[in-house]
Every structure is written in structure tokens, then in C-alpha cells.
Copies of this chain bind each other. A is one copy, B any other.
Amino acid sequence: MVSFSKLLTVLSIVALSVAQTFQRLGACPTLGCVLPPDQTDFLAGQYFDIRLEVHAPVNGSEANGGVPDPNFTFTIAKANGTPQSAASFFKIAEPKLETWNFTWYEDLFAQDAHSPSVVRVTSKAYRRVALYEPGDYVATLTYYNGTKTVANWFVRPLSTQKKAKNVILFIGDGMTTNMITAARLIAHKSINGKYQTKMQMDQFPVLGHQMAGSSSSGRTHSLDSYITDSANSASALYSGHKSTVNAMGVYADSSADPFDDPKVETIVELLTRIWGSAIGVVSTAFIADATPIALTGHTRLRSQYGVLIDQALRGVSNYTWTKYTGADVFFGAGAEQFIAGSGSFQGKDYYKEFSNAGYSISMNKTSMLAASNTTKALGIFCTSNLPVWLDRNVYKDNLNKTSNDPSGNKKPALDLPGLKEMTLKAIDVLHARGGSKGFFMMSEAASIDKQMHTLDYDRALGDLLELDDTIKATIEKLRAMGELNQTLIIVTADHGHGFDVFGSADTKYLSSKTNDREKRNAIGVYTNSGLSQYTVTNASISYNTGVNFPVNWDPRYTLAQGLGANPDHRENYRVHKSGPRLPATNITGYPVDDYFVNPTDNPDGFTVNGTLPTNEAQGVHSLTDVPVFAMGPCQELFGGVYGNIDIFFNMANCLGLGQPSDTSATNTTSAGTATASPFPFTGAAPTKRVQRGLLVGMLAFMISIGWFAFTL
């Protein structure tokens, strides 16, 4: 064991070497880690956990002898106040010391050489605490004989008044301004530059931009990042705390357990606890997917689908936390987590678990529409994700190719609702159940993102138009119900894709040419791009999809469009009539994660070699700020440019969720309701339930991340 003074010398050298992309632990540039980290904002009264870690690298550029300090201390001080030990500050017992090891790679060269850096860790976690007084706090971790890691925390001003009865948050997953522009062009007819019909989003009174990608602090296990995924971006929108790729409702720590990371309370948990409002979750994705499930999920590992569904029904059960007994409405897909079997938690039948908890169960549109409005409602309409709008409304034959019946009988699910039907029915239930307490609903158009990933621009834009159509119908319904003026409606996205339209393609000319360079000359740019042919009436085509959608999805002159980040693929710029696109595949003789042009995709197109790592089969998310449209009470809070966490703080402000004390006695856990209640730590180790899930989760995690492994 080396002396601490020697360690300090090493540390000062280390400081220069950490300016790299691969990181030991996000939000922890030094060897002492405080989570929530420096610069964190809190809502007054919002529950959270604290995780402290002291790292001792065994090898690699930061090696300090590999003995982590077991005697670190941690204090908290209100601005200009006297630092107190955290246990004293929160009036809780001092938690036990934990220890573990983990490994990471310092860069791609180290990864190629399979030379991981090993780190030994000492740690403590303080569970379910809260800060009630607005203002600045200083949290200080002291370790290695005087080295300090300081976290400056800020509790935002109180917001005890509920200004909006209801909040509806529409999320177009992966939706950028560029996509809205393209969708407008194909669906809304213009005469000499003046649109004759309007998108609903374009009619919102307030526009903002949220810094979705760039401000993701990326507290990943070992890597920080400025490109976000839907888990950590949803988490920022719902909790006001930035998280990590693959994480939701927690700050990711370096321990192996994906369910012991320090949690933060979400808007759904706060609203349930403080006002008892009704809660609705609607998505065209599987319900356990990041965007819907992050409303209640707390894990570093989004792929823990089964556990997450259980959390959505029963709340967190391995640690004392907000009491939560399930949303009033869940409408979406993902029957895998409900059918008894390998996809469900502990192999149980979750249709039955929900039914036992008092939910009506719908497995098709007809049943959903007939369900009682006064009963909690679960609607799971198929396995995987909901087929997209284009297949449900234009190329309907593709539905017959599926085997996605939500009962698991391998037949196609044909009686499917769309986002609009699910959303409008959800409003009926939420209105009936919320009563004077109002409701909160998140309604997600998930396949804008999913179809952009596979470069299926038409399907992505179709689902974007379905979202807009849904928003329009929602506003009309709320107006008819007399609820519109009391409802804050927000439309936003969680991140972008680098998509844009750059001209038109003469698909007839493109197809007639025999080599790639000649085919590219079918693209018309600037003046040669012409006008949208998707809105030109054609007597032989009628989809009966209404005025908010294209008249013709397969005109001769289409949009020339695409992403800046691609796998190898081929483009012919025509709609994929026979089903969703698969742009790249692996091929015999190469590793399974090495992707090339899919030979059956656009055989008459020209080849575009990719810009992404060859183990990426799809496009990826991008950095861009995404738009926010707002109307209703508090709409003025959503103009201008701000961080994604401000969406949470603005909604919380409008809902009066920033509380000066723990006033929600009827909606808290049995473990107590005191301001900073001590409760018996039955050991920081996760429960058995979580331990079981962990094994599967760890494997998925290691596969998904690829370049670091735990030494357990």
C-alpha cells in the first residue's frame, strides 16, 4: 500500500491525461466521485439518493497503487453555512461502506489490445433524501488525506401553486425541425409558397429550443458523451436530472448492480405523491421502451424490460422510495413483457398482474374503445412496436406479414389503434379518473426515431404526421370538453437525427440508369428540386387518409433526403411499399457485427458508403437542439433556448411541485414521511429480485456497450 502523499503526487500528473473521450466514470474526472455531481439543480422537496465513490486505479495512466480510501468523509453546507456530515444534515444513519472493482478501456488502442484498466472502489450511498430550502449548497467529498471533490448544488425557487390542471407532453422521438419541415412539404399543399392547410405544431403560440444532445452530461459507467439516447434524454425531461446513455431515473455509478445507482424522483412520482393526479402513458413503442418507461423507471440499464414493467406497476421495491401504484392508463405495444415467459419479470403473466391490480385489459382497438373510462386501463396491442402509420393506413397488406398478436399466438395483430385513437381514449379515462385533481399524460410518437434509424424516411415522416394529426385532434377534444384552457400542452423531442432534404429525385430517371454516378444525376438541387409532388391530386390514387397526409406517397419526383451519419446502404429515394426498410446487413464470411449494403434493399439505387463504424447497422442520433412547442397555462416559460432539464422544471413549476416540506403524507412509502427520514438500511445490497435480473442485465449491458467489462 502506497502512502496517501505519494498518491497525491500521482494525482496531479493524472489531471492532464483525463482529457479524453473514454472516461473512467462520467461526471468524475478526479478519483473522488459525488453523485449527483457538481452543477446539479434540484426541485425543492424532490427525493434523491447520493452515491460517493473513491477510485484507486490499479494500472493504466492514472494508476495510484490500487488501494481506495475507506475513510473518506462527506459534508453538506447550505450557502455560507457550516458544513455538516451528510448523515447529520439529513438526520439519517451513516451508511455502510461498500467496495467493488471495475474495468474500463482508456481508448480505442487499449480496446483493440484488450488491455483494460482496473479500478478498485470504496463507496457509500445515502438513500431517499431531499433539499427543501431553495438556494446554493456545497457538497464536499474528502479522501486520500485531504483531496476534495466539491459539488455545487442548486435548489430552484419554490413553486407551490398549481397553475395548470392538466399537462400533456407529446414527444416525437428523434424529431427535429428538419423533419417537421419535410413532413409539412409532403402533406400540406402550397400555392406559390403559401400553405393552404397548416400543421398543428406550426400554430402553437410559443416556440423554444431545448439543448437535448449537447448538454447531456453523460454520466455513463465509464464514458461521458454529448450524444444522447432516449433513456437519459427522457430522464432529463421527466426528472430535471441529466443521466447517462442507457440510464433512466438514476445517476449511473460504477457498481455492477444496475438497480443500486442513486435515484432521482420523476414528475410522475412527484405528481402522484403531492397532488394525486391521474397519470397516462401512451406510446407507439413497446411500453418498456425508454421514453414511456422512464416516467417511473430507475435503472442504469434500459434493457431491464421486465423489471421496469414491474416498477411501472408497483414502484421501486428494493429501496424505500415514493409510494407508487401504477399509472391510470398504459396504451402501447410490447406484449413480450406481459405474456408469461422469458420476456416478463420472473416469468409471470403481467396481463394478470395488471388485472389483479384493478386494470381493464385491452388487446385490440375495439376492446380499448369499449373499456370503462373510470377503471385503470392497460392496452397492449401487439408484440414489439406498433406497426407504423404508413403500414396501418396506406400499405396495409404489410400487416398480414406480421405475427405480432399481443396474446403471443403468432398471428398478425390487425385490429390496431393508432397514436390518435390511443391518445383520445386515454384522455377520456384520465379526465374521468383525475377529476378535479387533473392529469398528466405523456404521448409518444416513437417510430419517428425508429424509422429514421433504418433510413426509412417515408415511415418516419408518416409517423410525424400522425403525431401532428393527434395533437390537432387532442386540442379539438379538449376544447369540446372545456379543458383546453386549463391544460398545458407541450410538444417536443428527446434528441435528433442528422436528417434533411436537399432536393428532389427523378425516380424514373434514376432507375433507368445503370451506374451509380449516372443515377446520382437524377437528383435535382436548388431550382431543379421543383415543388412537392406528394400533394398533387392523382385520380388513380386514394388512400382516404385525410387532409393532413400526402395525396401520393410514390410520385415520380420524390424528396432527395438523408442523414449525415449512415451505415453502408443504397438509395433510390422511393417509398418502401413492402414493409419497413433494412438498409444494411451482415454477410457470410464476415463477423456478425460487420455491416454492409443490404443486397435486397433498393436494388435499383446507388450505393452510399457509410460514415459510421462498420458495426453500426443503422443511423444514429445527432447533436442538434430540438424544438419545443407550447400552449396553455405557463406557455410563456417555454420560449427561447434552454436545457432539456428545464422542460421538467417548467412543468414542475406550472404544476406547483416545488414544495417547502414533505406535505404528501398520504402518498409516501410506509418507511416514513419525514423531511429527511432515517430508515433502516437493510444493507446496501440489492434485493434478490434485483440480483436475479442483474445476471441477464449485465450480459445485455456488456454486449450493448462492447468495450468494457466488470471484474466482479
Contact = CB atoms under 8 A, between A and B. Distances in A.
A625 interface: yes
Contact of A521 (B244, B561, B614, B639): B614
A525 B621 CA distance: 8
B194 A526 contact: no
A206 interface: yes
Contacts of A525: 227, 565, 612-613, 616, 620-621
B612 A20 contact: no
Given A192-B40, A639-B205, A498 B531 contact: no
Interface residues of A, number: 122
A506 B640 contact: no
Residue from A220, A500, A555 having most chain B Cβ neighbours under 10 A:
A500
Given A193-B643, A509-B108, A181 B500 contact: no
B499 A226 contact: no
Contacts of A624: 177-178, 181, 500-501
B613 A502 contact: no
Nearest to A705: B527
Contact of A184 (B214, B224, B531): B214
Interface in A170-228: 176-178, 180-182, 184-185, 190-195, 201-209, 211, 213-220, 223-228
A193 B217 contact: yes
A48 to B, nearest CB: 15
B527 A223 contact: yes
Number of copies: 2
A385 B214 CA distance: 32
A536 B90 CA distance: 36
A695 B624 CA distance: 45
A207 B611 contact: no
Given A177-B624, A185-B226, A610 B520 contact: yes
A500 B192 contact: no
A107 interface: yes
B565 A108 contact: no
Given A39-B192, A227-B527, A502-B621, 9 more contacts: A39-B194, A177-B209, A184-B214, A193-B643, A195-B215, A498-B499, A499-B500, A501-B623, A516-B609
29 contacts: A22-B530, A38-B192, A107-B509, A108-B506, A178-B623, A178-B624, A181-B625, A184-B211, A184-B214, A192-B217, A204-B641, A206-B639, A206-B640, A218-B527, A220-B527, A225-B530, A226-B504, A498-B562, A500-B624, A501-B624, A502-B564, A502-B622, A517-B594, A521-B615, A525-B565, A526-B621, A560-B611, A562-B611, A608-B609
